[in-house]
């Protein structure tokens, strides 16, 4: 028996089985997973799973408005961002984020240790006000970052066991009479961070130089200008912030048409102009633009969009492989041997689609983590922690969304050593293996069944523990763990992570489900 659930109005109809299937429906027995002998294929950073807080959240300003919270009044507000043809109602003004809220700190800390990236397009033109009293907004900038606001970031990072990653302003306000970037603002920013008791672990020169002109660079900015400016930045960083890793270039969209038609600077040209000097090669990835930016004008915007109906498809889930492969080739040519960092990613650019806050995007979220770990990417920073529809938390209530619970389970089970999971029992079951966190010799499996109509079986040689995420409707914003709703306790405590037994033999993977399996006694030599 199965229940057919119809999605909310306007969404694609998705079938989800919510009852357990009899063994007669499970088909032939799959190949047994050899837990003891799964080979080690690599390792990721301890802070592999990380997150972003946009600079505009810290300073206060207009950022992508959650769909349900747009209002006619918002449509009349001016937008200080070079994004032509976007409806102003796509943005919402928000005051500076209060990083002292206990719930926010408690939930962020549960994902730690992590990197906290504070950057974004708005950071490219943000003025650091290095004085206790307001000084106003100087010419050539679009926003003000106060000492108090940045001190709040430093304190938050320390409280949640996060290391700060950021970028610097490159707008007209930081340039000399010849139009060359100057490090005065960056130096004050770094020095104040250290004076406040923090440090910047890593930084990109600026956010998404592929969109330099749209992101605040002077008109006519090209690869040669980038190379010239990067040389100044590199010299500054090595002298004034020697412990800060230089990330870059932080490009986006070149493996697809995502960046077409916006004065794209090619990464290859920028790297050729700048020469070597990166400690890690960073890039950004979005598989599509959201409904907000699909209105960029024309058929181009529509072509860059996606739908909820495609959210479990291999075409959608594999897009992260395509972009990683594109940038890995450039890394190998220009910065061989340097680690790859994905410093910004989410369901879709421009704040995410309405379904980014629902369970259906958790398949993308976890599948991406599994794929990129297997491909050797060292850090994946989700955008954002708590802003717009793609936030891990609701920005107003700070209630965990399905992707937060997915992130929490990854943190609890998947260690830094990556294993070859072997043959999957079916094309619709995506299987990933890591050493089990905190248990020498233990193995963790992540089995994602993207088949929304049929269950599949996974054969295991020994007893373990299972944690299965499901929802009555794939577009629900609440989910179940092992059949019980996941929610915070009365005082915002995270629930106790209670496993169900997974007896040796066949483990059922329900339709449209995500299952973590823990085997503390696997005895895997690569995990000792």
Q: How far is the C-alpha of 15 from the C-alpha of 453, rounded, in Å?
A: 6
Alpha carbons within 13 angstroms on the beta-carbon side of residue 382 total 31
Q: How far is the C-alpha of 122 from the C-alpha of 457, rounded, in Å?
A: 47
| pLDDT beyond 50 at 297 | no
The pLDDT confidence band at residue 463, using thresholds 50, 70 and 90, is: very high
Superfamily of domain 23-43+419-527: Golgi alpha-mannosidase II (2.60.40.1180)
Among residues 44, 45, 281, the alpha carbon closest in space to that of 163 is found at 45
What Cα–Cα distance (Å) separates residue 454 from each residue in 11, 28, 260?
A: 21, 14, 39
Mean pLDDT of 148-161: 98
pLDDT digits (tens, 9 = 90+) for 8-19: 333 333 333 323
Q: How far is the C-alpha of 42 from the C-alpha of 418, rounded, in Å?
A: 5
pLDDT digits (tens, 9 = 90+) for 436-462: 999 999 999 999 999 999 999 999 999
Q: Which regions of the chain carry the CATH code 3.20.20.80?
A: 49-414
Q: How far is the C-alpha of 38 from the C-alpha of 445, rounded, in Å?
A: 11
381-54-123-80 Cα dihedral, nearest 10 degrees: 140
Among residues 27, 41, 109, 2, the alpha carbon closest in space to that of 377 is found at 41
Indicate the helix (H) or strand (E) that contains 334: helix 319-334
Q: Name the residue with tokens 């926010």.
A: 104
Among residues 402, 302, 387, 395, the alpha carbon closest in space to that of 344 is found at 387
Q: Name the token pair of 237.
A: 């960083």
Mean pLDDT of 480-501: 95
Among residues 279, 374, 276, 264, the alpha carbon closest in space to that of 321 is found at 374
The pLDDT confidence band at residue 301, using thresholds 50, 70 and 90, is: low
Angle subtended at Cα 63 by Cα 58 and Cα 68, rounded to the nearest 5 degrees: 125
pLDDT digits (tens, 9 = 90+) for 47-89: 999 999 999 999 999 999 998 754 333 332 322 333 445 677 7
Angle subtended at Cα 94 by Cα 93 and Cα 96, rounded to the nearest 5 degrees: 140
Q: Which regions of the chain carry the CATH code 2.60.40.1180?
A: 23-43+419-527
331-334-337-338 Cα dihedral, nearest 10 degrees: -60
DSSP for 447-515? Answer: EEE--SS--EEEEESS-EEEEEEE-SSTT-S--EETTEE----TTSPPPP--PEEE-SEEEEE-TTEEE
What CATH number was assigned to the domain covering residues 49-414?
3.20.20.80
The pLDDT, as a whole number, for residue 262 is: 56
pLDDT digits (tens, 9 = 90+) for 86-136: 677 789 999 999 999 999 999 999 999 999 999 999 999 999 999 988 888
Q: How far is the C-alpha of 289 from the C-alpha of 391, rounded, in Å?
A: 15
Q: Identify the residue with better confidence: 214 or 323.
A: 323
The pLDDT, as a whole number, for residue 28 is: 57
pLDDT digits (tens, 9 = 90+) for 317-349: 999 999 999 999 999 999 999 999 999 999 999
How buried is 158 (Cβ within 10 angstroms: 0-12 exposed, 13-18 middle, 19+ buried)?
middle
Among residues 192, 203, 131, 132, the alpha carbon closest in space to that of 169 is found at 203
What Cα–Cα distance (Å) separates residue 319 from each residue in 268, 285, 297, 428?
A: 21, 9, 24, 16
Count of CB atoms within 10 A of residue 74's CB? 17
Q: How far is the C-alpha of 493 from the C-alpha of 205, rounded, in Å?
A: 38
């Amino acid at each position: 028996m199965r229940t057919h659930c119809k999605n909310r109005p306007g969404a694609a109809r998705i079938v989800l089985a919510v009852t357990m299937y009899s063994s007669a429906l499970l088909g032939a027995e799959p190949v047994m997973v050899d837990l003891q002998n799964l080979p080690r294929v690599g390792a990721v950073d301890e802070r592999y799973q990380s997150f972003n807080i946009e600079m505009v959240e810290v300073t206060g300003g207009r950022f992508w408005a959650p769909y349900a919270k747009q209002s006619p009044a918002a449509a009349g507000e001016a937008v200080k961002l070079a994004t032509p043809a976007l409806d102003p109602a796509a943005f919402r003004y928000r005051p500076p984020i209060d990083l002292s809220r206990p719930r926010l700190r408690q939930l962020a800390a549960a994902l730690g240790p992590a990197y906290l990236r504070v950057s974004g397009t708005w950071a490219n033109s943000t003025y650091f006000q290095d004085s206790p009293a307001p000084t106003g907004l100087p010419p050539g900038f679009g926003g003000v970052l106060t000492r108090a606001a940045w001190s709040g970031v430093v304190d938050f990072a320390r409280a949640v066991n996060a290391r700060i990653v950021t970028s610097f302003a490159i707008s007209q306000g930081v340039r000399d009479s010849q139009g060359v970037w100057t490090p005065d603002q960056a130096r004050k920013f770094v020095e104040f961070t250290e004076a406040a008791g923090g440090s910047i672990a890593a930084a990109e020169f600026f956010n998404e130089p592929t969109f330099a002109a749209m992101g605040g660079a002077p008109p006519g900015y090209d690869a040669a200008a980038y190379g010239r400016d990067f040389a100044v930045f590199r010299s500054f960083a090595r002298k004034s912030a020697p412990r800060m890793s230089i990330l870059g270039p932080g490009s986006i969209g070149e493996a697809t048409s995502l960046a077409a038609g916006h004065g794209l600077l090619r990464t290859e040209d920028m790297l050729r102009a700048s020469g070597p000097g990166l400690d890690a090669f960073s890039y950004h990835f979005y598989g599509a633009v959201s409904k907000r930016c699909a209105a960029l004008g024309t058929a181009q915007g529509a072509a860059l969009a996606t739908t909820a109906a495609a959210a479990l498809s291999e075409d959608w889930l594999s897009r992260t492989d395509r972009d990683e492969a594109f940038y890995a080739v450039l890394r190998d040519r220009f910065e061989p041997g340097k680690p790859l960092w994905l410093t910004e990613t989410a369901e879709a650019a421009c704040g995410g689609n309405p379904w980014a806050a629902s369970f259906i995007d958790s398949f993308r979220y976890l599948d991406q983590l599994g794929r990129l770990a297997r491909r050797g990417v060292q850090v994946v920073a989700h955008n954002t922690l708590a802003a717009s529809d793609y936030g891990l938390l609701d920005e107003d209530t700070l209630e965990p969304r399905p992707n937060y619970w997915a992130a929490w389970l990854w943190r609890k089970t998947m260690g830094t050593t990556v294993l070859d999971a072997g043959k999957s029992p079916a094309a619709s079951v995506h299987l990933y293996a890591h050493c089990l966190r905190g248990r020498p010799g233990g193995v963790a499996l992540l089995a994602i069944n993207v088949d929304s109509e049929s269950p599949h079986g996974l054969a295991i040689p020994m007893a373990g523990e299972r944690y299965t995420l499901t929802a009555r409707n794939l577009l629900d914003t609440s989910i179940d763990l092992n059949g019980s709703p996941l929610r915070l306790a009365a005082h915002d405590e995270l629930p106790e992570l209670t496993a169900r037994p997974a007896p040796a033999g066949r483990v059922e993977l329900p339709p449209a489900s995500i299952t973590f399996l823990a085997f503390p006694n696997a005895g895997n030599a690569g995990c000792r």
